[in-house]
Amino acid sequence: MSLKPPFSLVTAQQKVKAAQALWNTRDPHQVVTAYTQNSIWRNRTSFFTGHPAIVQFLQSKWAKEKNYLLRKELFAFRDNNIAVQFWYEYQDAMDQMKWKRCYGIEHWTFDNEGKMEKRTMSGNDLLLGKDGDGEGRWFKSSKPDEVDDIVISEERF
């Protein structure tokens, strides 16, 4: 089954889970292969374009975000666009290794070959537990293949 646009419900869900698995490698050089050479990104307040900038961004991100574990879920799709809802937890190396969760929405646009040509992300961080001790973490396992086992319902919000 092709993971190229136009997406069906099945291929959109597969594309989201493939991205989740790729990002959970925390390997910028592997992650960047899913993007076009001139991919345009907005990540919170950062705007940049192209593979070198993406790799640099991801290296900085994962230098700060230790023990990173991500979950993505399909939010909506149409033609060559996918929107995802995401949650990830990490220890902040720039803030005394306090546990945090980021949650938000991403919008992706793909070229005809299935590479992402545009990624926009809006996210919010939440301190986990008293003084960031990690109490209330969802992803307690360090195994990326177990993040989908966690039920994330409205009760979690």
In sequence order, the β-bridge partners of residue 107 are 83, 120
Token pair for 105: 């929405």
| % of the chain with per-residue pLDDT over 90 | 86
Per-residue pLDDT of 101-134, as tens digits, reads: 999 999 999 999 999 999 999 999 999 999 999 9
What is the tens place of the pLDDT at every residue in 16-47? 999 999 999 999 999 999 999 999 999 999 99
> Is the model's pLDDT at 147 over the cut of 80?
yes
Beta-carbon-side half-sphere exposure of residue 117 (alpha carbons within 13 Å): 10
Contact by Cβ (8 Å): 7, 82: yes
DSSP letters spanning 121-141: EEEEEEE-SGGG--TT-S--S
User: What is the pTM assigned to this prediction?
Assistant: 0.94
User: How much is the pLDDT for 37?
Assistant: 98
pLDDT category at 157 given cuts 50, 70, 90 is low
Contacts of residue 14, defined as CB under 8 A and 6 or more positions apart, other chains included, come to: 1, 3
Q: Where are the beta strands (DSSP E) in the chain?
A: 35-43, 46-49, 65-78, 81-92, 98-110, 116-127
Instruction: Return mean pLDDT, the chain.
Output: 94
Q: Which two tokens stand for residue 101?
A: 């969760």
Query: Which residues have C-beta within 8 Å of that of residue 101, sequence separation ≥ 6?
Result: 87, 88, 89, 125, 126, 128, 137, 138
